[in-house]
Structure 1
Amino acid sequence: MKQPAPAAQPAAKKSLGQHFLKHDHICRRIAALLLPESGDRVIEIGPGPGALTRALEAQPHARLLLLEKDNHWAAERQRQAGTRTQAVLCDALRFDWSRITPDYPWKIAGNLPYNVASPMLWDMVAQARGLLRGAFMVQKEVGQRLAARPGTAQYGALSVWVQSFVSPRLEFIVGPGAFSPPPRVDSAVLSFTPLPPEARPLHADHLSRLLKICFQQRRKQIGGIFRRSGESALQDLPQAANLDPNLRPEQLSVADFQNLSLLWAARA
């Protein structure tokens, strides 16, 4: 008896920034970046048709939680879920990452939509104190910013913020042909290794505000930026931190920014 043809896959939704991975070998490489162990609890963001999900299910783990915003794919992933897999209809951009605690740690992976990757990672690295390891596909430009070093054109607020919580490593580049539909740009895969608690910023709120003040005027000198900031506690901050006020924000290291935020918080 002739078997019915499988239902056609719904078209990717531009509004959700969907570009589905279709090459299994790339999915296996991403999954392997989590350094899998049998006791792992793993979150996948935006599984879609499930190519990366299948790679994650095939490697050692204890539990796999899928966060999917698209109704169709959340239902489909739950329908095909393995015994240790659960799909949840959820917008990962609004997920409470503070639930990932050191007492209940997770590893996290995902092919992140281009339009939400930066704000999602900004929140995740700061709030998910129990993050054990991360592996993410993002737009190449975003990947370069995440891993950028001081003094480079890509170095900015996102670089400093993320590197204050994790050590990002740009692992490899993926061309448009690996996706359906193909995006117009290359993508990058990065691994995240969390920094120890003592290396994380003590005053993250001050650091966040400082980065926004500085990198809104990245071509200006920090002495002038602080004088024009309207914040009296910032006026002589470079001198207090033994920094040349003629430096530009992109010339400061992550440690420099963390030290400045500490001094600012002490004056509050």
Structure 2
Amino acid sequence: MNAAHRPRKRFGQNFLHDPGSIERILAAIDPQPGQALVEIGPGRGALTWQLLERLGRLEVIELDRDLCARLDTERHAHPGELIIHSADALKTDFCGLEQPPPLRVVGNLPYNISTPLLFHLLGQAGCIRDMHFLLQKEVVERMAAAPGGRDYGRLSVMLQMLCEVEPLFTVGPGAFHPPPKVDSACVRLIPLPTPRYVIDPDTFADRTRLAFAHRRKTLRNNLKGELHTEQLEAAGIDPGRRAETLSLEEFARLSTLPSGAE
């Protein structure tokens, strides 16, 4: 057994250790033999070894080389095939991993990369069956938020257009070492076969980003230079509204409008 690995702040490491929380996460994932599953950030292996026992084969992506070496040493004590990728999940081609899609993706995600990683995975959703993540509770609330509230934003719109978002349960700071200063939550994401509405993905992403660029500003101001006020009105969208009040269907409508200059 290797000496205890000291959590590294620059990697945002908070290692899960609470047996009860681990069991709840495993029950939510319900891994079955033969399924293609990849774990992001296995850390000390709290979930890893139990996933491997149930699956027989598991791929993991770990940025910390010391943890990769630790996992490599310890895997000989566990049955099954563990494939270790010493890599940055933000730069990983998930569709090109060793196991054939559809993939199941799981992970206790570092808070500092959770949002960019979710967007990275959205771009590869076509080869993903589902995702189960431990995230900062505030992030999960934003992911599942409805229009009109302060939690509703670009992340909510992008995820809900392409996935079913299901918050599962909260995990307190004491389940981790070191304990974070905030609560965490487990969430399930299931990519949809097609987006909820007909969209051009690139235009939809770009218009959504612009609409939320300055939350206190109206659509008229945030989309100036991209769309005419008259275009918004013709599409049945009041230019004086803020992005946080728009439904998914209205964002889809925005993405169908031809670019114009104010």
Structure 2 length normalisation: TM-score? 0.89
Answer yes or no: is 1:74 the counterpart of 2:62: no
Per the alignment, residue 255 of structure 1 pairs with: 249
Structure 1 partner of 2:52: 57
Quote the residue 1:3 is aligned against: none
Match of 2:166 among 158, 164, 169: 169
Gaps of 5+ in 2: none
Shift of 1:213: 1.1
Match of 2:257, SS? helix
Change (3 A) 1:62 1:55: closer
* CA distance in 1: counterparts of 2:114 and 2:35, whole angstroms: 24
Which of residues 222, 230, 241 in structure 2 aligns to 1:236? 230
Quick check: 1:193 aligned with 2:190? yes
| Alignment partner of 1:22 out of 1, 8, 17 | 17
Given the superposition, is the C-alpha separation of residues 156 and 190 from structure 1 closer, same or farther in structure 2, using an over 3 Å criterion? same
- Could you tell me which of 40, 46, 64 is aligned with 2:41? 46
Q: CA separation in 1, counterparts of 2:94 and 2:254?
A: 26
Shift of residue 243, structure 1, vs aligned partner: 1.9
Unpaired runs of 5+ in structure 1?
A: 1-5
Q: 1:7 to 1:159 in 2, by over 3 A?
A: same
1:57-88 CA distance string (max 9 Å, x none): 233x3531000001111122223334232111
The structural deviation recorded for 1:28 is 2.4
Partner of 2:135: 138
C-alpha offsets along residues 7-49 of structure 1, whole Å, 9 cap, x if unaligned?
A: 4312100000000000122122223323433331001000010
User: Residue type matched to 1:18 in 2?
Assistant: Q
- The answer to whether the 8 A contact 1:46-1:112 is kept is yes
- Determine helix, strand or coil for the equivalent of 1:164: helix
Aligned to 2:210: 213
Partner letter of residue 63 of structure 1? R
Q: CA deviation at 1:266?
A: 11
Which residue number in structure 2 is paired with residue 154 of structure 1?
Answer: 151
How many residue pairs were aligned?
Answer: 256
Q: In the alignment, which of 73, 81, 85 is matched to residue 82 of structure 2?
A: 85
How high is the TM-score relative to the length of structure 1?
Answer: 0.87
| Contact 1:238–1:245, Cα closer than 8 Å, also in 2 | yes
Question: Structure 2 CA distance, aligned partners of 1:230 and 1:197?
Answer: 30
- Percent of aligned pairs sharing the same letter: 36
- SS of the residue aligned with 1:40? coil
CA displacement, residues 139-161 of structure 1 (integer Å, 9 cap, x when unaligned): 11111111111111111011111
Q: Note the alpha carbon deviations across 1:88-143, whole angstroms, 9 max, x for none.
A: 1011011124537xx72100000000100000001102223111011001111111
